[in-house]
Amino acid sequence: MTYSAPVKDMLFNMEHLARIEQVAQIPGFEEAGLETAQAVLEECAKLCEGVVAPLNVPGDVNPSSFRDGKVATTPGFAEAFRQYAEGGWQGLQHPVDFGGQGLPKTIGAACVEMLNSANLSFALCPLLTDGAIEALLTAGSDALKATYLEKLISGQWTGTMNLTEPQAGSDLALVRTKAEPQADGTYKVFGTKIFITYGEHDMAENIVHLVLARVAGAPEGVKGISLFVVPKFLVNADGSLGERNDVHCVSIEHKMGIKASPTAVLQYGDNGGATGYLVGEENRGLEYMFIMMNAARYAVGMQGIAVAERSYQHAVQYARERVQSRPVDGSVKASATIIHHPDVRRMLMTMRAYTEGCRAMASVAAAAYDAAHHHADAQVREANAAFYEFMVPLVKGYSTEMSLEVTSLGVQVHGGMGFIEETGAAQYYRDAKILTIYEGTTAIQANDLVGRKTGRDGGQTARAIAAQIEKTEGELHADGSAAAKVVAVRLEQARKAFLDVVDFVVAQSRNDPNAVYAGSVPYLMLAGNLVAGWQMGRALLAAQQLLRKGQDEAFMRAKMVTAQFYAEHILTQAQGLRDAIVDGGASVMALPMDAF
């Protein structure tokens, strides 16, 4: 099954929703206009479609394997990663100073989507390396930067994030890995880390582990966690590789999906201690780790969009080929391809609308990230930062939850063939299920949304977004087309439902935290649904205008239909979510624990 990157949709979002020409006015991004975006996306599409996508099924059939402390990745992965690195893709969004391309996230995010559509398992290695780079850029000493950044950005080395331990998953307060200060300023690290993606592999010369650990005497809980660089091979002063460090892979996991990506158990310090280098200051590890995690969370949201797109393309192709049954409207007098059948169309439209809605939401969020980090005006930075921070749990939580539904529909479109592994649709279904779990489960995203993103500012950011949505509703009414009116009406209903929930969350967080957190995931789903629907509304307006100018009629009409479908079939879930959250909090916690 081939993959065809949705470059046109991505560029449409960048131009009309994320407003890339405004991003290109930010200092440092002067070259990053639409033309650059197009050139970059087309080049990236070639690599993803031609080199990485063909490795997706082989990676599932012949996953990474473990033997004698070493991991062998799927044949072809190492060579593909070499091409990825040599093309400069690892450095796309990273600073020019360290060999990167310095492009904005507005462009980079689309490349992340493509790579993940091509191959979720493969893309995890660059994804985690990006996180390691971010952490070092933000908190690393000049020495650490000098030693590691260029090699990571060039793709010669790769990075990992080491948070989880057997007893410490979502709850990092329980981290037990120890770091003992040494006379030379380094630390000796001892402990076990689990679920370390690409914690060991054969695709790069060195692996740079970023590891959460406790220094002896540190405070209990999350305030006593520090962040360390622990390289697989120590690095000599001249940058060459030195001794093997005391960190070893002891096994990899047998997983339901993303099988090609090795998920390692790493043992630190069994032979005297792994040499680690403190990142930033002691006891501020969680703060730095959040930098990596925020980047990674956004990227995992892109993974949801990516696997949804791939599953959609696979299903469309099958629906065009498979012949079964006569159309109910009598339009064909014999058995026809199943794309003629209304329920197949409903499934494909659902897949398409979710994917396009989340892609639009993520694109707008990426532009806000760029403005938040690089705009010259502090007020603009601040406003964009608040918006972006609100978006991260939505991009991560909503896009991955919808990917479960989309990949399930993708199997369903195939009927019985979907359940046969050789068809390929099942892989997306199995792969996608990790996305709502890692880098913080949907519940963890929802806690973030309720606590840090809504409660902390008394709902101010949430209400500001609602006000922007109301403005779009006005524009849709003013536009006057039937489709625009339908979208305006459903957006208004969903926005009001959202505002009811925001009021509830703000009012009840202290009085009745159980009721508020019982509704946290439904709140996330409602907010994501609304924001993606809002962007589809904006997309409809843009498409309508461009259509009047005679631009790309087929694309613009498709966008309008998809926006209307989103409003009628997805935004309509909003009221039910509101009712469950606002009226249904008590019944969530009412059953005594021993009655389950």
User: What is the footprint of a second copy within residues 332-371 (CB under 8 A)?
Assistant: 335, 339-346, 348-349, 352
The 528-557 site mask, x for binding a second copy (CB under 8 A), equals: --------------------------x--x
CA 404 to chain centre: 14
The dihedrals phi and psi of 516, each to the nearest 5 degrees, come to: -65, -45
Of the candidates 493, 477, 556, the residue with the CA atom closest to the CA atom of residue 529: 493
Q: Which is nearer to a second copy, 236 or 325 (CB)?
A: 325
Q: Does 429 bind a second copy (CB under 8 A)?
A: yes
CB of 348 to a second copy, least distance (A): 6
Q: What interhelical angle do 285-321 and 378-413 show, nearest 10?
A: 40
Q: Binding to a second copy (CB under 8 A): which residues in 23-62? A: none
Catalytic annotation on 439? yes
Contact 520, 447 (CB under 8 A): yes
Q: Does 580 bind a second copy (CB under 8 A)?
A: yes
Which stretch, 22-30, 42-50, 171-179, 288-296, contacts a second copy (CB under 8 A)?
171-179
Q: Which one of residues 62, 415, 464, 496 is an interface residue with a second copy (CB under 8 A)?
A: 415
* Residue 546, both tokens: 């461009």
Q: Which one of residues 96, 328, 380, 478 is an interface residue with a second copy (CB under 8 A)?
A: 328
Q: Binding to a second copy (CB under 8 A): which residues in 450-479? A: none
Using a CB cutoff of 8 Å and minimum separation of 24, what contacts does 67-74 make? 69/200, 69/248, 69/249, 69/250, 70/200, 70/202, 70/249, 71/200, 71/201, 71/202, 71/249, 71/252, 71/262, 71/264, 72/202, 73/201, 73/202, 73/203, 73/260, 73/262, 74/260
Q: Which one of residues 2, 65, 167, 271 is an interface residue with a second copy (CB under 8 A)?
A: 167
CB of 496 to a second copy, least distance (A): 14
Q: Which is nearer to a second copy, 271 or 587 (CB)?
A: 587
CB of 514 to a second copy, least distance (A): 5
Which stretch, 133-141, 391-399, 423-431, 456-464, contacts a second copy (CB under 8 A)?
423-431
Paired with 266 in beta bridges are: 193, 249
Catalytic residue among 356, 401, 439, 473: 439
Contact 325, 336 (CB under 8 A): yes
CB of 577 to a second copy, least distance (A): 8
Q: Does 323 bind a second copy (CB under 8 A)?
A: yes
Gap between the Cα atoms of 346 and 565, Å rounded: 9
- Give me the sign of the Cα torsion angle 580, 581, 584, 590: positive
Q: Does 434 bind a second copy (CB under 8 A)?
A: yes
Q: Which one of residues 69, 219, 239, 513 is an interface residue with a second copy (CB under 8 A)?
A: 513
Q: Binding to a second copy (CB under 8 A): which residues in 239-258? A: 253-257
Gap between the Cα atoms of 216 and 190, Å rounded: 11
Q: Binding to a second copy (CB under 8 A): which residues in 146-165? A: 164
Which stretch, 77-85, 94-102, 321-329, 389-397, contacts a second copy (CB under 8 A)?
321-329
Contact 487, 540 (CB under 8 A): yes
Q: Which is nearer to a second copy, 2 or 514 (CB)?
A: 514
- Other beta carbons within 10 angstroms of residue 28's beta carbon come to 14
* Residue 322, both tokens: 């498979």
Q: Which is nearer to a second copy, 86 or 419 (CB)?
A: 419
Of the candidates 217, 327, 385, 193, the residue with the CA atom closest to the CA atom of residue 270: 193
Q: Which is nearer to a second copy, 39 or 589 (CB)?
A: 589
Gap between the Cα atoms of 366 and 102, Å rounded: 14
Q: Which one of residues 96, 143, 146, 174 is an interface residue with a second copy (CB under 8 A)?
A: 174
- How many angstroms separate the first and last alpha carbons of the chain? 44
Q: Which is nearer to a second copy, 271 or 551 (CB)?
A: 551
Contact 209, 247 (CB under 8 A): yes
Q: Which one of residues 139, 153, 319, 541 is an interface residue with a second copy (CB under 8 A)?
A: 319
Q: Does 195 bind a second copy (CB under 8 A)?
A: yes
Q: Which one of residues 250, 443, 464, 547 is an interface residue with a second copy (CB under 8 A)?
A: 443
Residues annotated as part of the active site = 439
